[in-house]
Structure 1
């Protein structure tokens, strides 16, 4: 993480990230789900011709900014593409996309069967939507498929071009096939009428859920996913054959499901919470000796945990204060105005001719053409102390051997042997006793600037709280307790480790927590037994055996390093992606005020009875 490497992306999945111990839980979850979603064969007989070549025909200079189109015609194709996907998926109609190049080389029609074959897959229906041009080979394939009894559905206007040239060929083919408006009900109903596999295992109450059904020998695998962050499905009914079990892919356990005989099938009920998935396997080969769930999955009453006096908490790391706003001077010249440390570096690069670091820079270990220019500089970080910390404060800094440090005018010697924190590039040592003072403090760094010098923020570590006023850092006492709301406003703005909260709850309920920002939650066992990991919404877990003798459970917030290493001044704070350039943003995407990811409790915890 030394120098520019800390701004590389994605973030490290090793020890530098607090969640690296929990990461295997997520990978194992997806591995289990992958096994189920690859077993056997999908119950899918619908093919959608992919309209990518119609998009290619619209590409021109300036058509997009990064990955977002700015062309209205391209956006129109994108909107249709999204609409077709949503209409079919939310009606639990499984389908594949067919690339026209693959269709030309690999598709064949099975005579007298109305079936289109591509590899091991067999399709009885092809949907065309959102295309402006179509290959002549695709037109011929769809014509022959229709003549052999296959179903071709045109949703919305047909392509007006063939091989990117105007042609009435597709319009003529449309007249012989099914043509429906590009509207959800029309597309779904026409698909379900012609596709046996699209007849869903869910009743109407499950409309909006995503579903894939697969056949693996004598078993059927049914995977449900709720894509909504807000909508809850309190009851949906599924149908299948044989005994039913539910797979909990996160916990790695299976449960028997109470199913009832229906008309030529069995039926069972379940609930699906926002962003939740449910996995069921049914079939005559399923064992009937598995235990059932301890409580039914259907939501019941909830009780709010009232804790007006706040929550006891512990931190697994020292609190941290980021000093990234600095004045600077070259040699003994006058001090330049206060600015963020990477802006200081940019000003010095412009003055010295040293290349500016960034995402496209040559890696330092591979740079053979270094600029040998070196200029003496001074960097001054200013911070305040409201209450002197009772425990010695440590300084965390990169390349300490390259700098002379002065704290409130007193030389700060760098020990020959230093410790490290978070990453070996961050060296730490204790500041001299008695040098920090209440009120204004300044840390001055004398060094030389040139190719290979990493000008980076410095950090204070210790048992203190941090307050920010007008982009200036103040140290004060740690909060005695934490309350609902944003903990970055309660003395922990830059903290990025683990926060363990004691929540009053007995062991007969299910806990529901609504954290702010990005965090993984971990429910600790009082006797050190395996912990319960809650990596995503809904943040919920059974509490049986997890309450201590005093009726409290301990839940850890496992954070990211975003509020420590940034970007800390990027506007808006929420971005689709973060790359090295985002750390050096300018107006209007820059603010001197700190842009911190919220951390904390959005509302009081709840217990589900």
Structure 2
């Protein structure tokens, strides 16, 4: 899981993907990938890297703990699914033709559509593989089981053929007054040979249309759990997973909409005390509910990409809503913090050098070319080669400044004609990224760094990095210059404030005046967040980390009357350091090795992702 998502996959993105799996009943996650080393092409192996190399690694327990707690909760007891959906894979096999998969793809699209309609109407379901249905399906006292799971309704999505064993089993189910829905186009064959109409005509045939399908579905079966808007309509983007564990029922709700939150009435079957289990913190607290006949109602706003885990204990009485529960927290004064912040990087700034002039043996220098284009001719060459990297320097940074390169033992390295000291100064980011001192070797104007070595078939040629306390200036995102670092920055996008290649933590600090309300409650709210983690400090006290919606943190207990100081430690990812930098489509939905060397979609304009936030507000609560 997570492979191909790119280095900029945030905790919010990881949570959203994990929630999608959890709500479908997938409760053991296998993240991709944790690299021992990012040397050479490994760093481009379907990122993200989920390990110590990432700037956010020290906060990884926030998302890992969330996932671990949900994995624990959603393996308790037994999943409750009301609907059994016959999987049409055997119809796809029958319809597929080499060189023409259109009919099989159409079947797949219909199948996906039916699955989504069920989820959006809050009917949980399982897929029935026909071979497993033949092996494990059974009827007991007119109830349908597959293994230990029980179902109330069978849906046959659009298909071409059904197994004889499936037809015989479902005919027995219908004879026991069980319902089977067949969606058009209905099955035409049994075992891809004989006509299926004698069976299909006894099922409930429904048009391949959402309104028609959900109307018939609603007449036959009410969902165990309903998620309704205040107006009484199903909230389609919020899906639900239910489990039974003795006297307890677990209900996991996931908002699949990353851009919008929803006010919901969550109507749960049964009568009992309801608790909220918070997977992020491990906290548990009782929830006040409205008790109806054999149901309880929980009113809740579920954030964009948000989730909620409720547990009903039927051995205890529900706590009904009273006047105290209905007391609303009113938002009072609001303070917009100015866009200018004092900045202090906690990690060195960087500039990535990925374009070279190059020569083989005693030949003439060629290029400049992207480094990846040089790799193949160097590997095919049997002799020496040289790579010439150039960087513009407007202001020479104060020490310490380092050149970072991989496998330095394979090269002789010089800067402006002077050999670099061979002393290894440790690693940066990854254990294969070795530092060599550049102190005293940079000069204003153009600095040239030359790597020389002997070619071999498996040699790896990788970007260089210059790191230190400096800023990086660019006018066009094509060429870059080392310059002095800004001490005051604008927060919306630190990429444009001299940190285009930066990977790490930057502290942003600002002071403001406040008159506290009697309640002393206040929250810090981020607008347009463009970070992985915002670690918030108020008057020297850690208020917590902001990593997903709601992008806010409670700060009231740390505020004082008068002057207060907010420090936000913003953490990003490896994306702007490692790329892909040159894909014309910018930030890609899927990232693999070819994304870094796609000649057809190549651009010399470097593509970065924003880093910062659009605004910060302090909101006092009454």
Tell me the TM-score range normalised by the shorter chain.
0.7 to 0.9
Whether 1:121 aligns to 2:142 is: no
- Cα deviations by residue, 1:524-583 (Å, 9 ceiling, x for unpaired): 476566x63433334233224355884333333322212212222123233333222322
Q: CA deviation at 1:511?
A: 3.0
Matched with 2:392 is: 384
Report the CA distance shift for 1:488/1:470 in structure 2 as closer, same or farther (over 3 A): closer
Structure 1 runs not aligned, ≥5 long: 64-70, 353-372
Whether 1:545 aligns to 2:557 is: yes
Matched with 2:251 is: 222
**What's the secondary structure of 2:455's corresponding residue?**
strand
Report the CA distance shift for 1:590/1:298 in structure 2 as closer, same or farther (over 3 A): farther
Whether 1:557 aligns to 2:564 is: no
State whether residues 391 and 448 of structure 2, in contact with CA within 8 Å, keep that contact through their aligned partners in structure 1: yes
**Structure 2: distance between partners of 1:295 and 1:499:** 41
Whether 1:91 aligns to 2:121 is: yes
Report the CA distance shift for 1:210/1:297 in structure 2 as closer, same or farther (over 3 A): farther
Matched with 2:287 is: 257
Whether 1:442 aligns to 2:468 is: no
Report the CA distance shift for 1:139/1:503 in structure 2 as closer, same or farther (over 3 A): farther
**Larger mean Cα displacement after TM superposition, 126-135 or 38-47:** 38-47
**What's the secondary structure of 2:74's corresponding residue?**
helix
**What's the secondary structure of 1:176's corresponding residue?**
coil
**Larger mean Cα displacement after TM superposition, 450-459 or 516-525:** 516-525
State whether residues 399 and 439 of structure 2, in contact with CA within 8 Å, keep that contact through their aligned partners in structure 1: no
**Structure 2: distance between partners of 1:223 and 1:297:** 26
**Structure 2: distance between partners of 1:604 and 1:528:** 18
Superposed, 1:155-554 pairs within 5 Å as: 155-165=183-193, 167-169=194-196, 171-195=197-221, 198=224, 200=226, 202=228, 204-208=232-236, 209-239=238-268, 240-286=270-316, 306-349=336-379, 351-352=380-381, 373=382, 375-415=383-423, 417-433=424-440, 435-468=441-474, 469=476, 471-502=478-509, 508-515=521-528, 519-524=532-537, 532-545=544-557, 550-554=563-567
- Which residue of 566, 577, 597 maps to 2:590? 577
State whether residues 403 and 436 of structure 2, in contact with CA within 8 Å, keep that contact through their aligned partners in structure 1: yes
Report the CA distance shift for 1:303/1:36 in structure 2 as closer, same or farther (over 3 A): farther
**Structure 1: distance between partners of 2:48 and 2:606:** 20
Q: CA deviation at 1:386?
A: 1.9
TM-score (normalised: structure 1): 0.85
**What's the secondary structure of 2:336's corresponding residue?**
coil
Matched with 1:30 is: 67
- Cα deviations by residue, 1:38-73 (Å, 9 ceiling, x for unpaired): 32333322101112222233444456xxxxxxx443
Matched with 1:600 is: 612
**What's the secondary structure of 1:85's corresponding residue?**
helix
Q: CA deviation at 1:296?
A: 8.2
Report the CA distance shift for 1:129/1:288 in structure 2 as closer, same or farther (over 3 A): closer
TM-score (normalised: structure 2): 0.84
- Cα deviations by residue, 1:475-498 (Å, 9 ceiling, x for unpaired): 112122232432222211111112
- Cα deviations by residue, 1:265-322 (Å, 9 ceiling, x for unpaired): 4433111111111122223445989xx9x99898965977534451223322100111
- Cα deviations by residue, 1:400-457 (Å, 9 ceiling, x for unpaired): 2332222223333322x43211122111122142x32222221122222223432111
**Structure 2: distance between partners of 1:100 and 1:451:** 51
**Larger mean Cα displacement after TM superposition, 244-253 or 29-38:** 29-38
Structure 2 runs not aligned, ≥5 long: 1-37, 515-519
Aligned residues: CA RMSD: 3.1
